[in-house]
Amino acid sequence: MKVILAGYNLDREVIEELKRSSPPRQDVTPETLSAAYARISRDPRPADELRAAACREVERARRSNQTIIFKMGHHSVAEHAVFNFDIIGASRLALEEVEKFRLCSFTEKSQRYITLGDDFVIPEEVRRAGLEDLFLRTIRSQNALYHELYRRLRPHVMAKYKEISQDPRNHAVLEGWAKEDARYVVSLATQGQVGLTLNARNLELMIRRFAASRLAEIRELNARISVLAKEVAPSIILFTEAAECDAGTGAALAAAASSFPWEDQDGVMPADSVRRPTPTNRSIFPQPAGEDAVQLIDFTADGDDRIAAALLHSSAGHSYLTCLAQAKRLTEPEKKAFMQTAFQRMEFFDFPPREFEYADLTFALVISASCFAQLKRHRMATLTGQSYDPALGVTVPPSLDEIGAGGGFRAVIDQTNDAHAAISREIGGAAAYVLTNAHRRRVLLKVNLRELYHISRLRQDPTAQWDIRNMATRMTALAKAVMPLGGLLLGGKDDYPTLYSQVFGRLPRFSPPGQLK
């Protein structure tokens, strides 16, 4: 066996310095890796020789890439080329579009841990419509209240959690709690930044999708990314024009949906299908919360049986149908004991075997932008959603009422809703920039049970943000009701020792590290 480190990422400044200190060369490109690895399937030479050949003949490597990707349709060879982008000064709304691509890696500036300034994007759509004054007044009111809320929330949190605050090591966490509640009034136009890592295949998909975006900011971001990528690797960034599927499908579906006679079982139009964010109906906006905001709308009915059958299939040497029949014949104690075998060696940092992916759950959620900002990071789930809609109300951090700031917060929300209504009549969807982190959207989340363990461990922990913690706790309760065996150890990592001891009568070997001393 021979293993060679074929390459690794370097900072661009290092690459440029190396180029300046060496003779002119063409092989400073990830295209050579794609070309070399593409030849592995048909060329008997060792991979390191193929790489050396590609570096010697870059233009030939590029022609090979274009032939393999374009003519032969083997797009996977582009995945061997990896790019890193600094995206600085983009709006939160734009960064959400970037982070829809789940097979990429992101690290985003946190609005929980960094005190925000007053930097925000003024959308081109707002400028063109002559609505800049209204937009600026609204954003400045939001930002002014953010700073005021943080000033008042910090001592409130320290006093509320006085015992924890005695240890200075906990101050950063407690200050983060104050910031995360204050940010609910901040707009989606707020500037952020993200470090993005992705392979060329996903980059090409991103460029193509962004070319069809209705937001001018996304199209500008797309143009910048596209130029930089093509400059370095023109042979593996090929299909970059907006496809008809991306550009037209959404509008076609919306048109078709609007033609349907939307009636409920009693023949009456649902109230939320006609209610819109206007000053006259602001007081009757629905305020989904708690159980109503988290609904389990679909699931694998025999999920426990299917997980047990998949585990049997992997270990017993029989066909899946035979294993499924066997799982259904097991008594409940037998089935529980068998499932416990899969859990027995798990620690808080482990997740169930891959067989747990054969049971699915679909949740209908109504969540704030703050909550969605965290949920979207679970990229191995299926997550789709509607636009942010003021008609769904807002999520108000309880701490704001605790410090007597709830009234001022709601006043700014009313101002924001008025501005949104006025702006949306002129520029449509781009009016969402003026909405806040407190505003809500409807989303559908489909996860397999294994991914729900990941969400549960991370988001039910005491250090998790309260909004998504409430959502995850409700999701876990609903999942355990329909898959009691598969969900035996669902819960935050902080509770894992307790959950484990309830199942096995003893503690696990390792306990999670405490983050609040």
In order, the DSSP letters of 229-242 are HHHH-TTT----SP
Judged against a pLDDT cut of 70, whether residue 262 lies above it is answered with: no
Helix (H) / strand (E) containing 421: helix 406-427
- Residue 266 pLDDT class (50, 70, 90 cuts): very low
Over residues 259-266, the mean pLDDT reads: 56
Judged against a pLDDT cut of 60, whether residue 270 lies above it is answered with: no
Judged against a pLDDT cut of 90, whether residue 269 lies above it is answered with: no
Judged against a pLDDT cut of 80, whether residue 123 lies above it is answered with: yes
What pLDDT is stored for residue 265 in this prediction? 41
Distance (Å, rounded) from C-alpha 267 to C-alpha 279? 28
Is there a contact between 56 and 165 (Cβ–Cβ < 8 Å)? no
Judged against a pLDDT cut of 90, whether residue 433 lies above it is answered with: yes
Is there a contact between 476 and 329 (Cβ–Cβ < 8 Å)? no
Class of domain 297-302+343-386+441-504: alpha beta
Q: What is the DSSP letter of 464?
A: S
**Amino acid at residue number 488:** L
What pLDDT is stored for residue 63 in this prediction? 85
What pLDDT is stored for residue 491 in this prediction? 96
Judged against a pLDDT cut of 80, whether residue 290 lies above it is answered with: no
Q: Which residues contact 175 (CB under 8 A, 6 or more apart)?
A: 154, 157
Distance (Å, rounded) from C-alpha 336 to C-alpha 395? 40
Place of tokens 């139009």: 269
Of 343, 346, 332, 341, residue with least CA distance to 304: 332
Instruction: Give the model confidence (pLDDT) of 24-33 as tens digits.
Output: 888 888 888 8
Q: Which residues contact 15 (CB under 8 A, 6 or more apart)?
A: 28
Is there a contact between 69 and 236 (Cβ–Cβ < 8 Å)? yes
**Alpha helices of 428-492 — where are they, by DSSP H?**
449-459, 466-482
Over residues 495-503, the mean pLDDT reads: 94
Cα 251 to Cα 44, 212, 247, 276: the distances in Å are 50, 12, 8, 20
Instruction: Give the model confidence (pLDDT) of 402-432 as tens digits.
Output: 999 999 999 999 999 999 999 999 999 999 9
Distance (Å, rounded) from C-alpha 121 to C-alpha 187? 10
Give residue limits of the domains in the chain. 12-82, 126-189+399-434, 297-302+343-386+441-504
Over residues 479-486, the mean pLDDT reads: 97
Mean pLDDT of the chain: 87
What pLDDT is stored for residue 273 in this prediction? 32
State pTM to two decimals. 0.82
Instruction: Give the model confidence (pLDDT) of 151-183 as tens digits.
Output: 999 999 999 999 999 999 999 999 999 999 999
Over residues 443-450, the mean pLDDT reads: 96
Over residues 74-103, the mean pLDDT reads: 88
Q: What is the dihedral of CA 361, 364, 365, 369, to 10 degrees?
A: 100
Over residues 39-53, the mean pLDDT reads: 86
Instruction: Give the model confidence (pLDDT) of 292-308 as tens digits.
Output: 799 999 999 999 999 99
Neighbours of 276 (CB within 10 A): 13
Over residues 278-303, the mean pLDDT reads: 64
